Structure 1
Amino acid sequence: MASRNPARPLSPHLQVYKWGPHMLVSILHRATGSGMATVGTGLLVWWLAAIAGGAESYATFRDVFTTDTGALNILGYVIGIGLTLSLFQHMMTGIRHFVLDTGAGYELRRNKTGALATMVASVALTIVFWLYLGIN
Structure 2
Amino acid sequence: MADVNQGKRPLSPHLQIYRWQVPMLTSILTRITGNALIVAAFLIVWWLLAAATSADYFATADAVLTSWFGKLVFLGSIWAIWYHFLAGLRHLYYDSGRGLEIETAEKLGWACLIGSALLTLITIIIL
TM-score when scaled to structure 2?
Answer: 0.81
Match of 1:69 in 2: none
Output the CA distance in 1 between the equivalents of 2:14 and 2:45.
Answer: 40
Amino acid at match of 2:57: S
Secondary structure of 1:18's aligned partner: coil
1:100 paired with 2:94, answer yes
Other-structure match for 2:84: 90
Q: Specify the alignment match of 1:20 in structure 2.
A: 21
- Report 1:32-71 matches (<5 A): 32-37=33-38, 39-66=39-66
Whether 1:80 and 2:81 are equivalent positions in the alignment is: no
Q: CA RMSD in A?
A: 2.4
Tell me, in whole angstroms, the C-alpha distance in 2 between the residues paired with 1:74 and 1:35.
17
Unaligned 5+ runs, structure 2: none
Task: Determine which structure has the larger helix proportion and give its number.
Answer: 2
Unmatched tracts of structure 1, length 5 or more: 67-72
Q: How many residues align?
A: 122
User: TM-score scaled to structure 1, two decimals?
Assistant: 0.76
